[in-house]
Amino acid sequence: MELDRLKNRRYGFFWYSALWKVLRTVLILACAGTLVCGLIYTGWQKFDQAFFAPVDPADTAEIAFKVKSGSSLSTVSRELESSGLIANSTVFKYMADFSGMGQRIQSGSYSFTKAMSAQEILDQLISGDGRPNTMRITIIPGWTVEDVANYLVKIGLLEREDTFLGLCKTGESYRGYEFIDEVLASSRASGRIYALEGYLSPNTYEVYTSSDEDAIIKKLLNQTDAVYLSNYAERADALGLTMDEVFTLASMIETEAKTGDFARVSAVFHNRLSANMTRGSDATVKYVSGSRKMSLSETDLTVSSPYNTYLVRGLPVGPICNPSMDAVIAALYPDEQYVAQKYMYFCSKDPDSGELYFSRTLEEHNAAVATYRPLWEEYDRSRGL
């Protein structure tokens, strides 16, 4: 009996000893794991605080941020950092790439704060700014470069006019278009107000809301390139005109008449050119002076400018607006009957309707002017001019 009890004690001791070894190993591993997890958690907290947490939780002032169409993740990350919205652009880029969100960032105009975390900013960039990605714009025939710039700012597509106007003034960024390169290389380039005047093709376009000035201008120039067909160029050659001269003439036609009279006005201008006369277009004077008057004074008509066709023989130095293709076609194909009958003059017959009176002789034209000038003057007075 005593021997059996001793055996049982020894057996129990060994069993408890083995169990303790197992439990001790488990406890050691558990403590080590807890310690490691604690260290990892603490490290992550510090890393998160340094790179992912809000830059300034107390600063809720809104900061405008724009992502342009085609911007890379690297570019967006750098611009976020430079705006003070995230702590580190490289970490933000890796976070977006690692989460598979790097290619899903949408262009648009956003409003962020420094109280937003990097993840909240990324989520917003992926969701978009809540605005349409595209919008429709309509460029009206007869608008000048400045009219187009004003319109684009008014509808919110551009923030300011200055960059757009600067690009249109020099035209240097668009030498890749043959017709613009020809303009800049010609003697007509000197004295022009805007090198691109005449070539911002009137039409309705769908554009990205994130489009910048350069993208918009290229879209309009692409349209001009597309609609000026090879047979138009051949017709211009037959008339002895360059493309720039055709668009200059078309811009005068567009400004002087309604569509129904385009070909007749074109005939008058062609006849005066053949007779080596000045074109005598009020519209060219108004382009320089900015006057909106119907009845121009002697001072207006004698303004010194390469655009003033009362003083300059032939065509002005460049287009005075962006003409429609109807006006371009009229410039190329004047009314044959009016050309044959030598119509040399026209004037406004009704300021409200735009109806014109055409004359063959100067005497007939002067009589028409004397008849209709009171209507022009009254029209000016009614508009406070």
Residue 174 pLDDT: 97
Question: What pLDDT, in 10s, does the model give residues 338-347?
Answer: 999 999 999 9
The neighbouring-strand residues paired with 347 are 357
CB 202 within 8 A of CB 322: yes
Residue 157 pLDDT: 92
Give helix 243-256 / helix 282-289 axis angle, nearest 10°.
90
Task: Tell whether the model's pLDDT for residue 3 goes beyond 90.
Answer: no
Length in residues, the chain:
385
| Residue given tokens 């004047």 in the structure block | 334
Task: Tell whether the model's pLDDT for residue 124 goes beyond 70.
Answer: yes
CB 261 within 8 A of CB 338: no
Tokens of 381: 């007075």
Domains along the sequence of the chain with CATH:
63-127 (3.30.1490.480), 134-226 (no CATH), 229-382 (no CATH)
Of residues 6 and 376, more confidence is placed in: 376
Question: What pLDDT, in 10s, does the model give residues 130-183?
Answer: 677 788 999 999 999 999 999 999 999 999 999 999 999 999 999 999 999 999
Residue 254 pLDDT: 97
- CB hemisphere CA count around 333 (13 angstroms): 8
Residue 242 pLDDT: 95
Task: Give 4's pLDDT tier (boundaries 50, 70, 90).
Answer: low
Task: Give 41's pLDDT tier (boundaries 50, 70, 90).
Answer: low
Task: Give 269's pLDDT tier (boundaries 50, 70, 90).
Answer: very high
CA-to-CA distance for 142 and 191, rounded, in angstroms? 21
The neighbouring-strand residues paired with 204 are 138
E-strand ranges in 13-130 read 63-67, 108-112
Q: Which has the minimum average pLDDT: 38-52, 94-108, 213-227?
A: 38-52
Task: Give 102's pLDDT tier (boundaries 50, 70, 90).
Answer: confident
Task: Tell whether the model's pLDDT for residue 31 goes beyond 70.
Answer: no
For 236-245, the CB contacts below 8 A with 24+ separation are: 236/332, 239/332, 242/182, 242/186, 243/179, 243/182, 244/179, 244/182, 244/183, 244/186, 244/188, 244/198, 244/318, 244/319, 245/315
Task: Tell whether the model's pLDDT for residue 47 goes beyond 70.
Answer: no
Of residues 220 and 23, more confidence is placed in: 220
Q: What values do phi and psi take at 171, rounded to 5?
A: 70, 0
pTM of the model: 0.72
Q: What values do phi and psi take at 165, rounded to 5?
A: -65, -35
Kindly state the average pLDDT of the residues 181-188: 92
CB 136 within 8 A of CB 205: yes
Question: What pLDDT, in 10s, does the model give residues 361-377?
Answer: 999 999 999 999 998 88
CA-to-CA distance for 365 and 308, rounded, in angstroms? 20
